[in-house]
């Protein structure tokens, strides 16, 4: 099963993405749903997800910076 991190600063979007899609039918487990890039980066650095679904514009750390930092930890 693949592990997914969802990161978006808008609560409605986070909840919609996490609840409206049948992730288990896609063989995907939601590892975490995060409200900003810093929270997501902490989860990524501890949980080693297979997939990250992120908003680009977020407070504290935007999605592009998040993916860049995650790639430093997991270059593969």
pLDDT value of residue 48: 85
What are 29's strand-pairing partners? 3
Name, in order, each residue with C-beta under 8 angstroms of 2's C-beta and a sequence gap of 6 or more.
27, 28, 29, 50, 51
Which of 63, 59, 61 has its CA nearest to residue 9?
59
For 2, how many CA atoms within 13 A lie in the half-sphere containing its CB? 12
The fraction of the chain above a pLDDT of 70, given in percent, is 100
pLDDT value of residue 75: 86
| pLDDT tens, residue by residue, 11-40 | 999 999 999 999 999 999 999 999 999 999
pLDDT value of residue 23: 97
Name the band, by pLDDT with cuts 50, 70 and 90, for residue 47: confident
Q: What is the strand order of the sheet 28-34 is part of?
A: 28-34, 2-7, 51-54
pLDDT value of residue 36: 95
């Amino acid at each position: 099963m693949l592990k997914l991190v969802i990161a978006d600063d808008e609560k409605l979007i986070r909840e919609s993405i996490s609840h409206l899609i049948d992730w288990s039918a896609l063989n995907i487990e939601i590892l975490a749903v995060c409200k900003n890039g810093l929270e997501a980066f902490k989860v990524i650095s501890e949980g080693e997800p297979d997939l990250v679904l992120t908003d680009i514009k977020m407070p504290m750390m935007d999605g592009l910076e998040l993916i860049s930092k995650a790639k430093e930890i997991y270059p593969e």
